[in-house]
Structure 1
């Protein structure tokens, strides 16, 4: 039995691959390396460089490796970018998922886990937000993921695929041993930006919107550690293997932190101060997004290990400092060559 991980060289995908390998699973990865890095993969994991929407490539990989489960991470994830390039997001997210599902049906792959997002809810009517809340995305990113969810639901009903949709809230942190983490240049994740500022790589942080009707005026998010999220996927896979029915689950901790509180956590763990500047609200941003995790905790055999904002920030900082050391060493080698 082999698990195909699309986007497996990316930030979340690489943590998934590491968790699967450490659990003794056979894993194969498809990634076009547009935002991922082959160096993030454990040694010996087969990597096929290409698009998850390339039906011929995917069919060949499934046949060659005996794939019986797909975990689909590949896609574009930046909300402001989706506002500028909606067609690109519908192509890379929705159409890629459509093609991948077509191959799953053709090859008889029985299990599918889909990486979705809390952005499908838009501004929720109630917080914490449950899975049955209305879906009213504010961005093409959220819409592209919601369309993919609908396709998966309909395809599974027609062809007998078992699936889990995991709607991520804000994924953050890095491998606790600093083996892998978020390495994409120009990343837009708040904690990534904050640890870059704490490590002297940014002169300041812009806070987009300080006039929201929240306790400190900034947006509120439910952060989940990337390693806990990977273990949630492992639990979802076990659930499907045990005959679990198709289900959609929120992935978060069920508690919210404001943007300013998150910045303060990075200041605490780093012991460093850095400039913070108020900026205008961004189109497509959601004010408050906190998960109701009741269904996930009842459905999956999953217990988070890193449910603490300072811990998440510390792991992100440790990874960022490792990246800096590695880059400095590469530069020194180049200068001395």
Structure 2
């Protein structure tokens, strides 16, 4: 990452979300003028703590983009639904969030002469992988509306780059975790363990490629300079496959729980069995993950104990940021 030049002015869509918050704070702490767009309002003190100079509520719209993008050098598109179960229950909600909002953003960029775009996608575009590690040119076979809609978003990005000159790059994120994440495995497991429950879905032998949010943020900033009309694609991961049981057992240990972790053998619709990424393209940029998984799990458990189990909502918002 030596020599990465950060933008002076950047727009972060979905700046109120998990990755968007961390990205905004990282950029703001390094002198970037960060303009955040999100669905909800944000208190001034929270906005200031996250390093966001201007906040635009109401989601992605022409009016919000017109104000936020004045003088912007790049748009980091972090907005969108990130829930496979939600996409199975409410596919049109997921479509609006992940496809229609992306189309609106790309059309605005086109009309403004092509503001560079970093599009955050997902490993879910691959579905059930035929081989590991997964390469960026492997077949796309999404097994959930979420994965399909993110793939449609990628195709829109490719279309606007090819035909309308919008320079872009795509980052397919694998299993991002870290302090402040209020969904997915670590969040659900922490609540269950706190209630004395120790049985989880699946077999425990399913694997995921985990990346701490601080490492993901550095990679997002690194690939921003690579946005161009060829739309290079990168993987946000570490290249290591880790079993679910090898996540849950150390998490339980962090909470001082010695009850054995068990699994019910059932699999959720839309969940693949095994994921591991080929991260050679990301490594070629000079980027490397810095947070070891054991340290990341311990940091998450500390955050959960302090700010969720015993802290205020404001403390939860502000703590645990890079």
TM range (shorter): 0.7 to 0.9
Structure 2 SS opposite 1:171: strand
Deviation at 1:235, TM superposition (A): 0.7
Deviation at 1:286, TM superposition (A): 0.4
Aligned: 1:296 with 2:301: no
Deviation at 1:322, TM superposition (A): 2.4
1:131 corresponding residue in structure 2: 136
CA distance in 2: counterparts of 1:269 and 1:76, whole angstroms = 30
Which of 207, 224, 233 aligns to 1:248? It is 233
1:18 corresponding residue in structure 2: 25
CA contact (8 A) 2:36 2:68 kept: no
Which of 189, 196, 211 aligns to 1:194? It is 189
Aligned: 1:94 with 2:81: no
1:237-270 CA distances to partner (integer Å, 9 max, x unpaired)?
2334xx7952011110011111111101212333
Which of 155, 159, 162 aligns to 1:150? It is 155
TM-score by length of 2: 0.87
5+ residue gaps, structure 1: 175-180, 211-216, 331-337
Query: Aligned runs of 1:111-190 on 2, under 5 Å?
Result: 111-174=116-179, 181-182=180-181, 184=182, 187=183, 189-190=184-185
CA distance in 2: counterparts of 1:31 and 1:51, whole angstroms = 5
Query: Aligned runs of 1:230-241 on 2, under 5 Å?
Result: 230-240=217-227
Structure 1 SS opposite 2:22: helix
Which of 235, 247, 268 aligns to 1:282? It is 268
CA distance in 1: counterparts of 2:43 and 2:256, whole angstroms = 30
CA distance in 1: counterparts of 2:277 and 2:121, whole angstroms = 14
Aligned: 1:47 with 2:42: no
Query: Aligned runs of 1:52-63 on 2, under 5 Å?
Result: 52=60, 54-63=61-70
5+ residue gaps, structure 2: 1-7, 316-322
CA contact (8 A) 1:208 1:281 kept: yes
CA distance in 2: counterparts of 1:288 and 1:125, whole angstroms = 10
Structure 1 SS opposite 2:36: strand
Aligned: 1:225 with 2:212: yes
CA distance in 2: counterparts of 1:62 and 1:328, whole angstroms = 30
* Distance 1:269-1:244 versus aligned 2 partners, 3 A rule: farther
Deviation at 1:127, TM superposition (A): 0.7
TM-score by length of 1: 0.83
RMSD of aligned residue pairs (Cα, Å): 2.5
1:214 corresponding residue in structure 2: none
Count of residue pairs the alignment pairs up: 305
Deviation at 1:17, TM superposition (A): 0.6
CA contact (8 A) 1:221 1:289 kept: yes
